[in-house]
Each structure stands twice: as C-alpha cells, then as structure tokens.
C-alpha cells in the first residue's frame, strides 16, 4: 500500500472519530465530574492496550529515561489536556471547544521550530494571520460584548490551554518516535501514567470516583476509551511519526466542522454569518499553513 494512501487512512480515522468524541464527552460529564470521567476513560484505555500488548507479545521493558518520556506524554496529552477539555465543555458547547483545538496546528508548528529546529515558512505566517482573523469573527459577539465573568470566555480560555497541553504532549511523543519506540508502547505507558496522575488530582480535590451505572455514561466511556483514545491516538501518533507533528495536526482542520454540525443538532448550537465566515477563514488558514511550498 502506498505511503500516501496509508497516511490518508490514518488521517480519516482521526478526523471521523475525533469529530464525534466532542459531543460524546458531554454524555460523561452529565453524570460525573470531568476529572473522574477522564480517569476512568484512560484507565480503561490502558487496560485495552495492555491486553493488546500481551496478545502481540510486545516488549514493554524500557529504560528510566524512556519512562520519563512516557510519563511526560501521559500527563500532558492524556491527563491535563483532557481534564481541561472536559472542564471547558461544562462551560461552552462541544463544537466550540473542538474549534479551539484548531490552534493545535499553530502550537505544533512553533513547537517543532522550538524543540526540533524545523523552519517556519511564509505559509505558516500567512496561515496563522488568516486563522487569527477567523477566530475573531467566530467570537465576534463575545468580543463586542466582553464580560470577564462570562462562562463562554472562560470556557474558551480553558480550551486554548488544553490545546497547548496537547501540543506539548505531541512534542514529547515526537521524541519517543525518533527513538523508534513503537506507538502502542508509548500510548500504553503514557495512558497509564496519565490515568495515575488524574487519580492523584481526583484524590486531592476529593472527587467522587464511583462509576455512574447508566447506559449513557457507560456507552460513552467505552466509545471514548476504545475509539477516541486507543484507536484514534494510535492512528494520530503513527501519522505524526510518519509526517511530523506539525502536519499531523491537519486532523484538527475538519474534525471541528463535524463537531459543530453535531453540536447544532444535539446542543442547539446556532450558526451565524460571522461564525460561518470565521470557520471558513480558520480552515483556509489551517490549509495554507500546512500546504507545502512549491519549488
């Protein structure tokens, strides 16, 4: 199978799954705290991956230095990122939080420049400006009617911080890939460390860790653990290792559109001309940023 076609399949898996997970997250936080929901999600994901590793007889013994990378990825990508994401979704619609993750493209671009010395091209500069204008249009109503106590403003700020944490996790994962550590190994250990860190947070904050025994929560937990975490992250980090984290962030271009569409059906999200224009500009900015310069 040609490498380009394999990359396209990995991209499609991430986009379609993550486009739906934003809404499914709301099925969890309706019944449990964000921290509790994240803990059980990634603990179950870890169990699934461990079973897979044992079945495939995958080597899980690595050096202390490697485990520091696994822990760094886990805390940033599978704990802090998701705890903040879940908190953000208690404040604004799932589609709007998904849209905040389009910043992953720019975070990853600058992260790859800072940590791996990859150059920033003119496309990145112009794409960033175009995406920035799009964000202004999307949140024009909030900007014109700025209220420091607005849940929407705080929800978006938390979403932006979640995206930053995810990007830093991407940088750590990129280092693991450069060491040729299999993605399934980095994810298994990363999700284990991430769930343990989330457990510590839950205990410190004295959150109830019991699992809500209803079909809505349990169905969401299974879907998010298997599809949203194990399968989608496996595909995404494989893609990032093959083409680089900055280009793999292209998955954030279309998934927010899917999320916003679902949000309009299930959360009464209302499209306005300014939001539509802003989304188009954000997507064009992302595409321009990730387009390889000719010649």
pLDDT at position 220: 94
Q: What is the pTM of this model?
A: 0.84
| CB-based contacts of 130, cutoff 8 Å, min separation 6 | 281, 284, 285, 288
Distance from C-alpha of 152 to C-alpha of 100, rounded to nearest angstrom: 12
Range among 98-102, 208-212, 245-249 with highest mean pLDDT value:
208-212
Among candidate residues 133, 134, 130, the one with its CA nearest the CA of residue 276:
134
Answer whether 280's CB lies under 8 Å from 114's CB: no
Q: Which helix (H) or strand (E) holds 43?
A: helix 34-55
What is the average pLDDT across 186-214?
A: 95
pLDDT tens profile 228-254:
999 988 888 788 778 776 677 667 667
* Contact call for residues 139 and 274 (beta carbons, < 8 A): no
Given a contact cutoff of 8 angstroms between Cβ atoms, the answer to whether 78 and 42 are in contact is yes
Give which of 278, 250, 285 is closest to 127, Cα–Cα: 285
User: % helix / strand / coil in the chain, to the nearest 5?
Assistant: 80, 0, 20
Cα dihedral 281, 240, 44, 48 sign = positive
The predicted-structure confidence for 154-181, as pLDDT tens digits, reads as follows: 888 999 999 999 999 999 988 888 898 9
List the single range of 102-106, 199-203, 247-251 with lowest mean pLDDT.
Answer: 247-251
């Amino acid at each position: 199978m040609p490498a380009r076609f394999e990359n396209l399949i990995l991209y499609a898996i991430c986009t379609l799954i993550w486009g739906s997970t934003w809404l499914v997250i709301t099925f969890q936080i309706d019944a449990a705290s964000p921290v509790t929901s994240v803990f059980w999600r990634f603990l179950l994901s870890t169990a699934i991956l461990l079973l897979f590793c044992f079945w495939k007889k995958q080597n899980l013994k690595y050096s202390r230095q490697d485990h520091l990378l696994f822990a760094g990825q886990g805390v940033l990508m599978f704990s802090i990122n998701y705890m903040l994401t879940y908190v953000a979704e208690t404040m604004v619609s799932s589609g709007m939080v998904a849209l905040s993750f389009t910043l992953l493209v720019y975070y990853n671009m600058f992260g790859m420049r800072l940590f791996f010395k990859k150059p920033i091209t003119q496309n990145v500069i112009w794409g960033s400006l175009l995406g920035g204008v799009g964000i202004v249009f999307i949140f024009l109503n909030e900007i014109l009617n700025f209220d420091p106590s607005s849940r929407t403003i705080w929800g978006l700020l938390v979403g932006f911080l979640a995206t930053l944490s995810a990007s830093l996790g991407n940088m750590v994962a990129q280092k693991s890939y450069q060491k040729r550590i299999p993605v399934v190994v980095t994810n298994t250990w990363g999700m284990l460390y991430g769930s343990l860190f989330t457990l510590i947070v839950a205990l410190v904050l004295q959150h109830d860790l019991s699992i809500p025994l209803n079909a809505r929560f349990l169905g969401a937990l299974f879907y998010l653990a298997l599809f949203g975490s194990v399968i989608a992250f496996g595909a995404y980090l494989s893609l990032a290792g093959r083409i680089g984290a900055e280009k793999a962030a292209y998955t954030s271009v279309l998934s927010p559109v899917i999320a916003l569409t679902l949000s309009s059906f299930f959360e009464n999200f209302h499209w306005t001309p300014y939001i539509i224009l802003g989304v188009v500009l954000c997507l064009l900015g992302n595409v321009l940023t990730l387009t390889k310069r000719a010649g």
